[in-house]
Each structure stands twice: as C-alpha cells, then as structure tokens.
C-alpha cells in the first residue's frame, strides 16, 4: 500500500489526539483510504517539553519550513492556534500545493474566505470540521447530509465553557466567578477566557455555520454578540420561575433571502431539546424546510473528540487524492450575502427592569412598550424593598428595532432602570 505523509503544526491537546487516533485506528483508516497514512513531522515551540506519544517515528522541529517545505508531505494539519502565524503557515502550505486541515475557528472565521480562494487556486483541499463543535460532525452534516434542504434556522450551544458555567450556576447556584474558575481548572476555557464569556468564540463559530448553512459570506462584524458576563444567578432563577432555562445560543436565521446572526443568552422552555444540553457539551439545532427539526449533540472540545474530526478531514482528503478529485472546500454553496435589518428581525424577549414602586411607574412602563406596538405574554413583579420592585416582562414577538426603541425610551424615564434583556425561543 502506498503511503501518504502528514505534517502537523502543534503537538498540544488536539495534535496529541491526532497522533493517537491515526496510530490506534490505522487498519480501518488504511482500508477506507487505500493509503498508509503517517505523521512524519510535527512543529512545536519547545523541543524540551515531554510529549505523550514519542515512540511513533515522528521528527519534532521548531522550524515551520521543515514541515511545510518538505516535498514528501502531502497534508498539513494546523492545530497550533494563533491567528496571524497560523494564517501565514496555512497560506504557505496551500501555495506549496499541500492540502490543509485546521481546527482553528479564529483563523477560519477571520480569514476563511481568502484561504478558500488560495486552496482552489492551488487545487488543494481545505477542511476544518473540528473548528465548530469539536467532536460533532456538524459541518459535513450541513454541507452533505442536509445539502438538499433549504435551511431556515441554525441555533447552537457552541461554546462549552459558558454552557458548563450556566449549568453550574443553574443547578448548583454557583456564582459566575466560581463557575468560571471551575471551567478554567477543567481546561475547557481558552487561556484568556474573555472570548468564551463575551460570546466571541461562539460568534466565530456562528460565522462558519452561517456561511455553510446559508451560503452567505458573513463576517464577525455582522454578528451581534452578547456573552454571559452580566448574567446573574438571580436572572437564572427568574427565568426558572417562568418555566425557562437560560443558555448562551448562537442563532442564525434566514428570512426572505437575508440572514441575521447573533449570540445571546436565550430563554428556552425547559422541554426544548437544547435546554437538556448540560455541562461542557455542545449541540446544534437545525431547522430545514424539508427535514424539519434535527439536532446534533456531543462534546465540543477535548483531545480525542476534536482529533476525531481532524482525522476525518484527513481521510476525506486521502480519498480525494486517490480519486484525483482534490480542490475541495466545505463552501460549495454560495448565495448573495444579505443582512436582515433590525426592523425585520423578529423574536420574543425577556426584559428585566428595576422600578420605583410608585403609582404611575408601571403605567409608564407599559406605555413605552405599547408605543412600539409590543405586547406582553408574561409579567412578574417582585418587591425588592419598600420603594423598589423588580419587574420581568416576556414580550410577544416584536422586531429588534422596536424593542431597542422601547428600551431606549425606558432608560430615559425617571424611576425605571433597564437591567437586562435576553431573547426567548419557543
Ligand atoms: N483543545 C480543544 O479541545 C479544541 C481546540 N481547538 C483548536 O485547536 C487548536 C489547538 O488547540 P490545542 O491543542 O488545545 O492547543 P494547545 O495549546 O494544547 O497546543 C498548541 C500546540 O501548538 C504549538 N504552538 C503554538 N504556537 C506555536 C508557534 N507559534 N510555533 C510553533 N508551535 C506552536 C505548541 O507547542 P509547545 O507544545 O511546544 O508549546 C503546542 O504543541 C486551536 O486552534 C484551538 O482553538 C478546536 C476545538 C477544540
Ligand atoms: N473554549 C472553547 C473550546 C472549543 O472550541 C469552548 O469552551 O467551547
Ligand atoms: Na465539528
């Protein structure tokens, strides 16, 4: 059997998993691809670090050219992270005619469009299944399994750190800070967890999901992202009283040929399939005109789950090499990119207000919503002390523009403070 050499950039969590899976599942992978696939070189930063899988005939190097410039290597796997350095290496690899697999959502969300062009120009494959929801084969499901459908909406729990934190805050009443510390100790959070808690990691994954689901080339600036930094255990309890669970969702929705993408804490009925996704798990809920509702659930990170997606990408490339059909990327469906205006973006909302407990304040609040044609489906008033009350409203469906108008007016009203507002899904 002929061999196919792979060079890997990075030997951390994911890189180690790739080495392990290729070794342990070698027989099956050879049967499927017709190649003996071997990792020959791995790029690291520090040669003196102890590595877990050392006796595998791999040469370690700190010089990227040793890997990218090696003519015997056909496939480069980028699992080192970073944006600019990874971009530089991936461009060089594609220009050298090497196929590329990456797990780097930051790279693909920010530079995917350009990398795809370079891949096509060089007749190279470029795959990145692990970049969204690590171990869940969601990208191939969308581009292959659901290829015949007209997708309408994609909602995902695509950040394990924040889902873990919300689970702990909900089920154990842990504070935000304690929950974050636990997520960091368990290794789910990025080294700087800002991108996790502020919804930026999820926004990057939603950019990738949106491009593949709707063929629209949205960028990070097109995603309105609110994370969980200001979410309190009080709000989780208020939502619970109303029959909802709060999850950080990425929501991408197509309406009349235009798309809206957001990341926001979202109230879900406790019976919703996404409400049952706990701890660091991820899930993506897809609504298509033909297939209806489908959901894909599993680990969003971790050595072996993430590496299994990377190795599946390697297998796809090996099959394409065998068939002489390389030059493939996930993004074969392209539609004109249109962004839905806030006036046409409809949803229900949870609004939490603090108000002076005085005759007339409640009336003023209801007037502000009425002026924007917003109706209420639920209202909860809880006295805080003699003069202050917390009021929670669940609105009927309204446009984002009308909601923002109502909230802006309420902010200017004496005796009313808008504490927070989150989306509500049925
Ligand atoms: N961990 C996970 O569960 C998931 C990770 N990903 C993505 O996979 C990628 C890798 O993540 P992960 O394995 O966790 O990262 P790690 O930090 O565990 O590993 C990174 C590896 O890359 C090497 N490296 C980093 N920068 C450089 C550089 N400039 N030059 C040479 N080598 C470098 C490091 O070398 P050294 O060992 O010498 O320090 C290390 O081996 C990231 O893009 C991440 O977002 C995606 C989904 C899930
Ligand atoms: N920090 C990320 C890791 C995977 O992408 C997360 O928490 O989901
Ligand atoms: Na995936």
- Here the CATH number for the domain that contains residue 406 is 3.30.70.260
Q: Please check whether residue 144 lies inside any domain of the structure.
A: no
Q: What is the DSSP string of 250-315?
A: EEEEEETTEEEEEEEEEEEETTSGGGG--TTEEEEEEEETTTEEEEEEEESSSHHHHHHHHHHHHH
Torsion sign over Cα 118, 124, 130, 133: positive
Residues 146, 291 contacting (CB under 8 angstroms)? yes
Distance CA 381, CA 389 (A): 7
Q: Which domain holds residue 114?
A: 3-135+303-323
Whether residue 322 lies in the annotated active site: no
In the chain, % of residues over pLDDT 70: 100
Dist. CA 389 → ligand 1 center (Å): 49
Distance CA 265, CA 351 (A): 12
Burial of 60 (0-12, 13-18, 19+ CB in 10 A): middle
Dist. CA 188 → ligand 2 center (Å): 6
- The continuous run of DSSP H or E covering 7 comes out as strand 3-9
- Count of all residues that appear for the chain in the document: 426
Q: Please check whether residue 113 lies inside any domain of the structure.
A: yes
Q: Please check whether residue 336 lies inside any domain of the structure.
A: no
Residues 57 and 122 in one domain: yes
User: To test the ligand 1 pocket, which listed residue (8, 14, 298) has its Cβ within 8 A of the most ligand atoms?
Assistant: 14
User: To test the ligand 2 pocket, which listed residue (81, 138, 161) has its Cβ within 8 A of the most ligand atoms?
Assistant: 161
Ion ligand 3: residues, CB < 5 A:
129, 133, 136, 138, 309
159 lines ligand 2 (CB under 6 A): yes
Distance CA 266, CA 243 (A): 13
- CATH number of the domain to which 118 belongs: 3.40.50.720
Could you list the residues known to form a binding site, using ranges.
9-16, 105, 190
Placement of tokens 């991820």 in the chain: 282
Residues 2, 35 contacting (CB under 8 angstroms)? yes
Pocket of ligand 1 (CB under 6 A): 10-15, 43-46, 49, 79-82, 85, 103-104, 130, 134, 301-302, 306
Dist. CA 302 → ligand 2 center (Å): 9
Residues 267 and 359 in one domain: no
Cβ count within 10 A of residue 137 = 17
pLDDT per residue as tens, the chain (426 positions) = 899 999 999 999 999 999 999 999 999 999 999 999 999 999 999 999 998 876 678 999 999 999 999 999 999 999 999 999 999 999 999 999 999 999 999 999 999 999 999 999 999 999 999 999 999 999 999 999 999 999 999 999 999 999 999 999 999 999 999 999 999 999 888 878 999 999 999 999 999 999 999 999 999 999 999 999 999 999 999 999 999 999 999 999 999 999 999 999 999 999 999 999 999 999 999 999 999 999 999 999 999 999 999 999 999 999 999 999 999 999 999 999 999 999 999 999 999 999 998 899 999 999 999 999 999 999 999 999 889 999 999 999 999 999 999 999 999 999 999 999 999 999
Region of 302 please: left (phi>0), alpha (psi -120 to 50) or beta: left
Residues 319 and 232 in one domain: no
Residues 91 and 175 in one domain: no
- The continuous run of DSSP H or E covering 207 comes out as helix 200-214
Pseudo-torsion of CA 408, 413, 418, 421, nearest 10°? -40
Kindly give the number of the ligand 1 atom that is closest to the alpha carbon of 190.
45
Dist. CA 386 → ligand 1 center (Å): 55
Catalytic residue among 41, 98, 153, 205: 205
Does the predicted interface ipTM exceed a cut of 0.85?
A: yes
Residues 289 and 412 in one domain: no
Distance CA 17, CA 302 (A): 9
Q: What are the CA-CA distances from residue 173 to residues 75, 157, 275 (Å)?
A: 47, 20, 17
Residues 38 and 122 in one domain: yes
Residues 77, 101 contacting (CB under 8 angstroms)? yes
Residues 36 and 130 in one domain: yes
Q: Please check whether residue 337 lies inside any domain of the structure.
A: no
Domain count, the chain: 3
């Amino acid at each position: 059997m002929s061999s196919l050499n792979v060079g890997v950039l990075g030997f951390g969590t994911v890189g180690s998993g790739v080495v392990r899976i290729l070794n342990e599942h070698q027989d099956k992978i050879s049967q499927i691809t017709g190649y003996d696939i071997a990792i020959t070189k791995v790029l690291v930063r520090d040669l003196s670090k102890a590595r877990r899988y050392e006796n595998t005939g791999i040469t370690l190097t700190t010089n990227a050219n040793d890997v990218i410039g090696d003519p015997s290597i056909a496939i480069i796997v980028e699992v080192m992270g970073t944006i600019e350095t990874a971009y530089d290496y991936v461009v060089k690899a594609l220009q050298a005619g090497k196929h590329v697999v990456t797990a780097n959502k930051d790279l693909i969300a920010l530079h995917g469009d350009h990398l795809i062009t370079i891949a096509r120009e060089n007749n190279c494959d470029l795959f990145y299944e692990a970049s969204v929801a690590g171990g869940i084969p969601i990208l191939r499901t969308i581009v292959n399994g659901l290829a015949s459908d007209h997708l309408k909406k994609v909602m995902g729990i695509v950040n394990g750190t924040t889902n873990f934190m919300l689970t702990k805050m909900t089920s154990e009443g842990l504070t935000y800070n304690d929950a974050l510390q636990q997520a960091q100790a368990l290794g789910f959070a990025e080294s700087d967890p800002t991108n996790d808690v502020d919804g930026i990691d999820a926004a990057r994954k939603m950019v990738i999901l949106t491009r593949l689901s709707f063929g629209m080339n949205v960028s990070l600036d097109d995603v309105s992202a609110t994370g969980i930094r200001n979410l309190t255990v009080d709000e989780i309890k208020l939502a619970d009283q109303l029959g909802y669970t709060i999850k950080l969702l990425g929501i991408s929705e197509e309406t009349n040929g235009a798309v809206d993408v957001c990341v926001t804490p979202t109230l879900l009925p406790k019976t919703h399939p996404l409400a049952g996704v706990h701890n660091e798990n991820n899930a993506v809920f897809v609504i298509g005109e033909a297939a209806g509702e489908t959901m894909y659930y599993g680990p969003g990170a971790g050595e072996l789950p993430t590496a299994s997606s990377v190795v599946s990408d390697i297998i796809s490339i090996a099959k394409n090499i065998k068939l002489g059909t390389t030059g493939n990327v996930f993004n074969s469906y392209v539609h004109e990119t249109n962004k839905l205006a806030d006036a046409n973006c409809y949803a229900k909302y949870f609004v939490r207000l603090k108000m002076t407990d005085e005759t007339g304040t409640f009336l003023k609040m209801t007037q502000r919503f009425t002026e924007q044609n917003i109706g209420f489906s639920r209202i909860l008033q809880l006295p805080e002390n003699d003069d202050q009350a917390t009021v929670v409203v669940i609105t009927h469906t309204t446009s984002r523009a009308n909601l923002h108008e109502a909230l802006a007016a309420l902010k200017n009203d004496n005796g009313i403070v808008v504490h927070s507002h989150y989306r509500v899904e049925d």
